[in-house]
Structure 1
Amino acid sequence: MKTMISAAISVCILAGGAFAAYQLNDRWNAPVVQADSKLSVPGDASDKSNETKDLKELIRESQKRVVSIQATYSDGTGIGSGFLYNDKGDIVTNAHVVNGAVNVMVKSSDTSLYSGKVIGMNEEKDVAVVRVDALAGQEPLAYDKVTKAEVGDEVMAFGSPLGLENTVTTGIISGVDRDFDLEQTKYRGVYQISAPITHGNSGGPLVMKSTGKVIGINSAGEEIGTIGYAIPYHQVAAMIEDWSAHPDEELAAGSTSEEAGSVEGYTKDLMTENAMYLVNYFYESLNGLDYVTAYSLLGSDWQSRTSYDKFREGYLNTLSVTVESIAVNSATSESAEVSVLIEAWENKDGERVISTYSSNYFVKPENGTLKIISGKGKKL
């Protein structure tokens, strides 16, 4: 595991003619950990405002284009975040996430793992681009390379804090034009944000709530408290565009070493973590009425036996779902069995009723992508 670079520096910030001191905790590379995850609490759909629905939809659509980056260095491994920038399969992230990496793997929201190569990097600006050929043609996350955010603007920070993929936190732009140096990086005119970010968030997108577009790159945060910093996207947009148009082939070759041991298979621990995440993601998609994504997580045999229309029809009367508990009963490097207890608000003859279900799912890789192969459930 690459040692997390920690630095305690005094950052002098000009604000209203006074200086405030900050101790910056830096560059985030940390091992993946596990945590319980709950979906949204069920409630009366009629009580949800259009704004709330739109926000949830914005979060779900953005999460599909945010990735976790697993980098292998000569002295260990680390994790960061990134987002799909264009239809070439280019991922924007922080330079400190991939700097010195001899192998780069990118994990998408459905746990698929892809090999990547660094095609552009600037340590001083702390920005890099990773190209993932397998993601070419995918719809990217929208970005805004013109707008300069102002104090009070509401934002959302996406990424994989502490290895917890598909995480989003909310807050505001709490300061602008913050300057500080950290090793080779000179952060100039960056955003200060109140949205909590921590180890693993590095490289993830900062999205403006009002537009749904990327306005910054989450890069650093305080050891204590909820102060984070993000690089304004307008500062680095031209650099990113140039790398995408003119990839650095030498840099790319150095980040795709076969000797580094690419993540082709699963360990028992990785299978355990990803299988639990996948089942959670399945129910999260159902809860958001995103039947297309939920159906895509099923194995080919399940899909051959159940058409998409039939699958969708089975959930049309389900108003919302809450995962009450989830556990991996058994796991190997090749498969896992996941048990889950859910509560579902359903429409029964025009009335809202709540039901509890217990289900077991068998999860394993299929053509390189983790899938829910089969499942059995019963109403309690």
Structure 2
Amino acid sequence: MTSRSSFLVAALLVGSAQAQLWQTPQVTATQPLLRSFKADGDVLRAGQARIELDRVGQRVIGVYATAPKANTEEVARAILAAWGAPEEAVPSLKQVLDDPGFQKQAAAQLFEEVSEDGASAVQVRLRDGSWQAYTSLKVYPRDAFPKVSAPLGDAAAPAQLDIFSDYQCPYCNQLWHSSNMAEWRSKPSVYRLNYHHFPLSFHPLALPAAEYSECAADAGRFWEFSDRLNEHFGTWTEQQGAAARQSFAAYAVDAGVKQDALDRCLAQPRTAEIQAGADQLQRTLGVRGTPSVYLNGIKLTNYSDAAQIRAIRAVTEAGPGAGKVIEVRLKAMR
């Protein structure tokens, strides 16, 4: 078993346990997994092992641990404490940390693994005979998200939403018609929406639909065209290629795109460019499916969870912000 799969096994043992990231420092410090540690504010100690709780406001956004090389159990407990893991997860992760192969890897460079839901990450480094381990929210910087042709909302809006979507995806259609999308679009001074194309290979009409949407964007009608695509989802998704393209053209004209402008745009195909952009998103952000929604650089595990949205906004919009706090830690570990 490789170190990566072992980390995943340990994470999966968390099951339905509530993640300690987002909790108050007091809640995180008093969980049974850290019973051997003594707390002094945001610092916890057990012998030579030390844990620091990074927080923004009253929410823990990162758990940083240092310990001598031999203290792998304390390091394992610190890592798993950020996930709210049960006691039985400790031996599995300790075994990974004790593995010479993993130790060699962690000594050569910073090891990182993003959680299965994409919302948190663990980073481990072994340097000068001591462990450094940091489990934190996974916050992507603004420049990790490519520019889009038709952002919706004010440029200075505090809540930046990046939506990765496939027009032929039924779950994306549900998102489009959701009360969440309606709220985001109705508050341009609060939310700025960035729509990223992520056509899935098993949806043959998603790529041509995206191409027509970019032509609509050239005419300043991206969102109007997308509204019509989603409104008539049950019609064009039952059509074959040529018929679907006729529908796309009709939706574009209905949305306000001039036919001659549409024809000129379509004469210069953009499918390769759109697909290349999706491939880049998969590599850099690990996007796997649609819809995927990121709020201020953090992936929403449930876009309809109002409490999660409030929590993310709380730790990213208050200074200095979770992204900056986490980056300072990681810079020292690299």
Q: Normalized per residue, which structure has more helix?
A: 2
Above 0.5 in TM-score? no
| The structure with more strand, counted as a fraction of residues | 1
Q: TM-score range by the shorter chain?
A: under 0.3
Q: TM-score, normalised by structure 1?
A: 0.22
TM-score after normalising by structure 2? 0.24
Larger-gyration structure (1/2) = 2
